Amino acid sequence: MKNTDAEIIASCPLFKGITVEEVVELFDRVPYTTKSYHKESLLMIRGDEYDSLKILLKGEVSAEIQDYSGKTIKIENLKAPEAMATGILFADDNTLPVTLVAQSEIHLISIPKSSIIEIAQKNKHFLLNYLSDSGNKVVFLAEKIRLFKFKSLRQKFTGYILSLSGKQHSDNVTLPYTREKLAELFGVARPSLSRVCSEMSDKGLVELDGKTVTILDKESLEESLDY
């Protein structure tokens, strides 16, 4: 394995706590392939069998689905060095529920399921990271589904921060995601989310400082939710 690829893989969340040297040693023992794609290429389509874990070494990929009207809905964006569909790999039905589209020139590594099992057996850090990554993605998608009941972006953001306030037992809420990831969670563009946040701040409902949201008028926020 090239040192440059090993360095990128070592920075992937699945390999947190694993050195570049350890990555090289692990991959010297298992089969894998690398491949590059041009922008707008289809990597895989919905219904394809997902039998090898794919990790982005370069570029960005979107996971998309089409509704019955043919409208494309973007589920999430993945950027190097993220791994794709970690949970699907070991599902009984390991067919992709989304279509993967290259948003830029990309380069990725494909690691067969058997190799993933071997790496997990040899390295406890990798095993724990893999389980954590799979669980976090389930939580993210579950929250995305829960927020579908809200009609507007403002309601989605309000419902989300009120939920976090309850979990954290505080009106000073710490957001677990970046603004970009939050926009993905709400299914909107980042500028749209920033605009709603600014409007709510101007109205004295919340105060925003980085990843901290201070709820200033909880009663008004709760009343704004139309269930």
| 161, 139: one domain | no
| 121, 180: one domain | no
Share of the chain above pLDDT 90, in %: 67
Final residue before a domain boundary, out of 143, 168, 190: 143
CB atoms within 10 A of CB 43: 19
| 84, 138: one domain | yes
d(CA 169, CA 101): 40
At 89-131, the pLDDT tens digits run 999 999 998 899 999 999 999 999 999 999 999 999 999 999 9
> What's the CATH code of the domain at 190?
1.10.10.10
At 169-188, the pLDDT tens digits run 999 999 998 888 898 888 88
Final residue before a domain boundary, out of 143, 166, 192: 143
Pick the range with the lowest mean pLDDT from 11-20, 23-32, 61-70, 129-138. Answer: 61-70
pTM to 2 decimal places: 0.80
d(CA 23, CA 33): 15
Residue (of 3, 12, 1) closest to 129 by Cα position: 12
Structural domain including 190 reads 150-223
At 149-162, the pLDDT tens digits run 888 999 999 999 99
